[in-house]
Amino acid sequence: MKILLAGLLLLPTMTLLGAGAAPSAKPNIILVMPDDVGYGDYSSLGAPVVQTPAVDRFRQQGALFTQFYVSPTCSPTRAALFSGRHEFKNGVTHTILERERMSLKTITLPQVLKTAGYTSGIFGKWHLGDEKAYRPESRGFDEVYIHGGGGIGQTYSGSCGDAPNNSNINPTLWHNDKFEKTEGYCTDLFFNQAVEWMDQQRAAKKPFFAYIPLNAAHGPLVVPEKYYQQYLGKPGVTEELAKFFGMIENVDSNFGKLLAKLDEWKIADNTLVIYLGTDNGGHAPACQIFNAGMRGSKAMPYQGGTRAPCFFRWPAGGIRAGATCDALTAHLDLLPTLAAVVGAPLSPALKKQVEGRSLLPLLLNPDAPWDDRTLIHHVGRWEKGKLQAAKYQASTIQNSRYTLVNNTELYDLKVDPAETTNVIAEHPEAVAALRATYDQWWTDVQPYLVNETAVGPTINPMKALYWKQFGGGPTEEELKLMNPPTATPPAKKAH
């Protein structure tokens, strides 16, 4: 019986590897995720201005999931991705004010992969807590090369902030427990460091998980002119928007170089590469030019705030080139999927934690049976002490057909994917079912909201570490930013 159970646990991996690879060969895993890039910011998905040839080619080499969902903002998506459950159940309800910190009780994806012999590296943006216990080196990552806070150079009061006076160009980055002053553009640096680290793991014959969550194209929109000058002067494109598009094109160029390295190393066939097109809805000005027929953008509960393209490529695993999957899927499915890929059984605690589903059946067959489900999106960001009043504020519950927005708007996504016509009066049974599910969910998440009354440190942790390493201290202006004398920063200004 024990032998039979062990075989069943390994079956998904053995099946996916196919006849041409040894069943014991564990695939390397790479997850690339840009920031604030919209569904409509890829040329193969209709973007009329920005050019993304590497992602376009990648789409033809693997499978595209067209109905894949993320959270409306940065930290929430990361919390869901790393836990396999809704971000609120990790205590993450904002992007600042200690509400970006992922609960220390959460079992994380790299911790799961470690049980299967994987080493993990992060290169880019973490944004799930800057205090020591919350940083990636304390949450399962072996290699860490990141900036602090939610954007390079950004600082808010409390625990969320980057190194002082930082910039996308020549940034100071946190690398394995110390800061390094670098030369170059941030996206180039993150990809270069990831490639160097992957090469080391390849040489050591260690299966690896490389997580490359880029800060681009998140603000501040600071980028060398050579990366964006080609967009200046195009119809409707301001200089700021040109920088945004330039940041996306630079991500695409680096992604293409990474894929070329996999070919050069001859490990592309048994490397699962996931390109998650964005961490949340798109940049509003860019959405005004093209939004893939959707309504809304980042920090909004509509489709434009939560729907993201997700691409998978793994030739040895049986993923068919050029495949398209329209099943209702989400970021919280990645942890159980990758656990199945590497043959890591879920512990009892992890089974209790994980809400997502393994995507393996869909990766093998995009038309495989897939039971309908409900996904819940909530922008969060309510003012301190206003939790209960925000229950339906900027919220969505959806299944494969209907989406109930703010508890007052119902859209039939099958006939109205642009969410233009509110049909709430026409489908009372569907509304009642969605409301009942949402109400139960709201009750269930309350005990998990562990950060709502948290008090942050006086000095931002990353700044304190910087001054400890290099000397100096906060200026009066920085102290004001870290400890505002009046109210906390407005939610709409937090990124």
Nearest residue to 422 via CA among 433, 410, 407:
410
Q: What is the pLDDT of residues 379-418, one digit of tens each?
A: 999 999 999 999 999 999 999 999 999 999 999 999 999 9
Band of pLDDT at residue 474, cut at 50, 70 and 90: confident
pLDDT at 68 over 50: yes
Q: What is the pLDDT of residues 308-338, one digit of tens each?
A: 999 999 999 999 999 999 999 999 999 999 9
Residue 484: predicted pLDDT? 61
Rounded average pLDDT over 196-206 = 97
pLDDT at 493 over 60: no
The fold for domain 375-448 equals Arylsulfatase, C-terminal domain (3.30.1120)
Residue 473: predicted pLDDT? 87
Domain 27-364 has CATH 3.40.720.10: yes
Taking phi first (over 0 means left), then psi (-120 to 50 degrees means alpha), and beta for anything else, what does residue 360 get? Answer: alpha
pLDDT at 180 over 60: yes
Residue 2: predicted pLDDT? 31
pLDDT at 494 over 90: no
Phi/psi of residue 378, nearest 5 degrees:
-145, 125
Band of pLDDT at residue 11, cut at 50, 70 and 90: very low
Band of pLDDT at residue 483, cut at 50, 70 and 90: low
Q: What is the DSSP letter of 185?
A: B
pLDDT at 194 over 60: yes
Token look-up 């920088």 returns 243
Rounded average pLDDT over 247-251 = 98
Tell me how far apart the 2 most distant CA atoms of the chain are, in Å.
69
Question: How many C-beta neighbours within 10 Å does residue 468 have?
Answer: 11
Band of pLDDT at residue 280, cut at 50, 70 and 90: very high
Distance CA 369, CA 361 (A): 8
pLDDT at 477 over 90: no
Nearest residue to 281 via CA among 427, 21, 60, 495:
495
Residue 486: predicted pLDDT? 44
% of the chain residues with pLDDT over 70: 92
Given 3-state DSSP classes, what are the helix, strand and coil percentages for the chain, each rounded to the nearest 5?
Answer: 40, 15, 45
* Strand locations in 132-226 (E): 143-147, 172-175, 179-181, 208-213
| pTM for this predicted structure | 0.93
% of the chain residues with pLDDT over 90: 89
Residue 25: predicted pLDDT? 76
Token look-up 């005990």 returns 447
Domain ranges in the chain?
Answer: 27-364, 375-448
Q: What is the pLDDT of residues 340-367, one digit of tens each?
A: 999 999 999 999 999 999 999 999 999 9
Rounded average pLDDT over 248-256 = 98
Structure tokens at 215: 């800060």
Band of pLDDT at residue 48, cut at 50, 70 and 90: very high
The answer to whether the CB of 342 falls within 8 A of the CB of 113 is yes
Band of pLDDT at residue 482, cut at 50, 70 and 90: low
Q: What is the pLDDT of residues 124-176, one digit of tens each?
A: 999 999 999 999 999 999 999 999 999 999 999 899 999 999 999 999 999 99
Q: What is the pLDDT of residues 421-459, one digit of tens each?
A: 999 999 999 999 999 999 999 999 999 999 999 999 988
Structure tokens at 463: 């700044």
Residue 489: predicted pLDDT? 43
Mean predicted lDDT score pLDDT of the chain? 92
Residue 481: predicted pLDDT? 66
